[in-house]
Every structure is written in structure tokens, then in C-alpha cells.
Amino acid sequence: MELLTGPGPGVSTVVIIGNFDGVHLGHQALIHQAKEIGAMHGWPVVALTFDPHPSLVLRPNPPKHYLITPRDLKLHWLDHYGVDFVRVLSFDHNLAMVPPMAFLALEVQQKLQAQAVVVGYNFTFGAGGLGTAETLKQWGAASHVKVRIVEPVNADSVVVSSSAIREHISQRHIDKANELLGHPFSVQSVVYHGEGRGSTIGIPTLNLLPVEQQIMPPFGVYAGYVTIGEANNALLPAVANWGIRPTFGGHKPVLEVHVIDQTLPDLHDNVVRFDFQQALRSEQKFESVDELIRQIHYDVDRARQLL
């Protein structure tokens, strides 16, 4: 996948438009249909998306922790599902004022040479969100651009949406969030130096810091898988604590990941991804370090069984 920084790819394209936060099953349906159209005509698929997320710019009190997939993870999953090019438009109050038709003419037709546009049933765009799927259809008919509107995708008898996934994450329902996502909720970060306490208590950890705007589940212990490095596909079973380590009087939230049954080389400054699979328990303040160690061994055993 190529990130478009200058002009478009210079060939006819199929364009999908949206925030794609999570790149969930609904978004994947758009990609799938766009790829089908593209394959028939030899057109690559371009995802036209926005950064920052419009909600973080337009809301009077934007939430501090909101994104399911910060930029790098969004690009990772768009690539994974077969998007050929991505254009990330800087979203600000000026872009928010562009009328729907002007947006389509400039950003979609002129720059990306769209021959087809695929959006979802609830797609809105342009100033005040006044452009709808219907507006897009009218524009397509007048401009000889194919328009396909994707029907709502459901999972577990609810419509898949980024907001439903955010709700599941904040309720610690990782399995439900993952079901709507169609892939695991994850945190990607370079490995930071910790206090070095983990190795001395026999439980070494990789210390990860989620992107500030990322939504996180409540403080607690989670089973999941670690991937080391962007190109690596090996998934290592792991157990992670997201929290402040109250037993040691900590304050700053960190995601501490212990890779199970592995001795790893020094990974400081390497990029690591932790895929959340299952919530195990809340973070606790223990009376003694021995008690904490006993509990962590128990967490590791449970994770080993689950993964």
C-alpha cells in the first residue's frame, strides 16, 4: 500500500471515503466491494480518510481518549485488507466548511480520478455533514462516476460501528469489540525503559505507551499476543497489565507486556504490537511484592490456557 502525499496515483481509481476508525467489519465490506469493482476494470482502490478524526476537531469538548486505531494501526489494517493507496486529508475547520459537491469535484474526481466511489449506507460528508449517500448518487449520475452504497453490516445482531466498538472497549468487553472489528483491538508502540523491576521479580516486561488519543480498556490484566517489528507475523502468547502499578505507588499509565515462556533479546526502541484477546482481572494494589508475584504467575497460567 502506498501513502499518497502529492497528487493522486495518476490512473483511474475506485475510492472509498470515511474515518475508518478501527477498520471494522463494516469498513472491510466497503474495501471488499471496492476491490471487486477495481478487479473488473483494473482500477486500484484508494482509501480517502481524515486525520485528526473529525470528532476530535468539531466537538466542543472532544474526548481525550477516542481512537480505536491511531494513524499507524489504521494504515496497517487498510493495507492488510488490500487497499492499494491511502490519502490522509488533514481535517480542520476549513475542510469542514467545503460544500459536499465541491469536495467530490476536487478531492475525489480531480485529484484521485475516481471512476467509482463506494461508501456505507450512513455516509455523510461536506459542510455540516449535509452530503449523504443520496447526494453522492446524484453527483455520480451527473459526473459518470459509478456509486455503490453498502448495506449495513451486522454482527451479533447489532450494526457494526466504531462507537459500538468504543463502548465495548471501555466496558472491558474485549471479545465483543474484537468480534465487531474482525481483528484484535491492539496497541502499537516502541518499547520504553521501565524501572527494571520486572526482571528482578522474575517477570520481565516490555513497556508500551499507547498513543495519547487512543481509547483504552479499564486498568487491568489482559491475555493477548505480541508481534515484534512491522514485517513480522509471529504471534507470541503474552499477558499484559494496563495501569499505574499501585503496589509500587506508580502514577503514569503503562502497558506492561510479559511474553510467556520466552527469553527475548533487548527490544528497547523496537516497535511492538500487543493484540488484546481476553480480560483477566482488574489491576490491584497488593500488600506485598510476593503476593503480586503469586498473582502474576496465576495470570500467566490462565493466559497460557486461554491462548
Ligand X SMILES: Nc1ncnc2c1ncn2[C@@H]1O[C@H](COP(=O)(O)OP(=O)(O)OP(=O)(O)O)[C@@H](O)[C@H]1O
CA-based Rg of the chain, rounded to a whole angstrom?
22
Q: Taking CB under 6 A as the rule, does residue 19 contact ligand X? A: yes
Burial label for 78, CB within 10 Å (0-12, 13-18, 19+), is buried
* Closest residue to ligand FMN in the complex (CB): 194
Tell which one of 195, 230, 290, 291 touches ligand FMN (CB under 6 A).
195
**C-alpha closest to that of 299 among 285, 277, 279:** 279
Residues 49-68 within binding reach of ligand X (CB under 6 A): none
Query: How many whole angstroms separate alpha carbon 242 and alpha carbon 74?
Result: 22
Q: Which does 90 bind (CB under 5 to 8 A by kind): ligand X, ligand FMN, none?
A: none
Residue type, 245: R
Q: Taking CB under 6 A as the rule, does residue 207 contact ligand FMN? A: yes
Residues 281, 299: contact at Cβ < 8 Å?
yes
Q: Taking CB under 6 A as the rule, does residue 26 contact ligand X? A: yes
Q: Taking CB under 6 A as the rule, does residue 132 contact ligand X? A: no
Q: What is the largest CA-CA distance in the chain?
A: 72
Sign of CA dihedral 53, 57, 63, 65: positive
Q: How far is the CB of 60 from ligand X (least distance, A)?
A: 18
Q: Taking CB under 6 A as the rule, does residue 119 contact ligand X? A: yes
**Of 91 and 242, which CB lies nearer to ligand X in the complex structure?**
91
Within 8 A by CB and 6+ apart from 89, the residues are 48, 49, 50, 51, 95, 107
Alpha helices in 182-271 (DSSP H): 197-200
Torsion of CA 60, 66, 69, 71, to 10 degrees: 40
Q: Which stretch binds ligand FMN (CB under 6 A): 65-73, 172-180, 193-201, 208-216?
A: 193-201
Residues 212-271 within binding reach of ligand FMN (CB under 6 A): 221, 239, 241, 245-248, 256, 258
Q: Which three cell numbers stand for residue 83?
A: 487497499
Within 10 angstroms of residue 80's Cβ, the number of other Cβ atoms is: 13
Q: Which stretch binds ligand FMN (CB under 6 A): 54-62, 74-82, 107-115, 202-210?
A: 202-210
Q: How far is the CB of 235 from ligand FMN (least distance, A)?
A: 18
Residues 142-181 within binding reach of ligand FMN (CB under 6 A): none
**Of 2 and 195, which CB lies nearer to ligand FMN in the complex structure?**
195
Q: Taking CB under 6 A as the rule, does residue 79 contact ligand FMN? A: no
Within 8 A by CB and 6+ apart from 144, the residues are none
Q: What is the distance, to the nearest Å, from the Cα of residue 287 to the centroid of all Cα atoms in its chain?
A: 37
Q: Which three cell numbers stand for residue 307?
A: 491462548
Q: Taking CB under 6 A as the rule, does residue 103 contact ligand X? A: no
Q: Which does 148 bind (CB under 5 to 8 A by kind): ligand X, ligand FMN, none?
A: none
Q: Which does 82 bind (CB under 5 to 8 A by kind): ligand X, ligand FMN, none?
A: none
Task: Enumerate binding residues for ligand FMN (CB under 6 A).
Answer: 194-198, 203, 205, 207, 221, 239, 241, 245-248, 256, 258, 283-284, 292, 296, 299
List residues near ligand X by CB under 6 A. 18-21, 26-27, 29-30, 119-123, 150, 152-153, 159-163
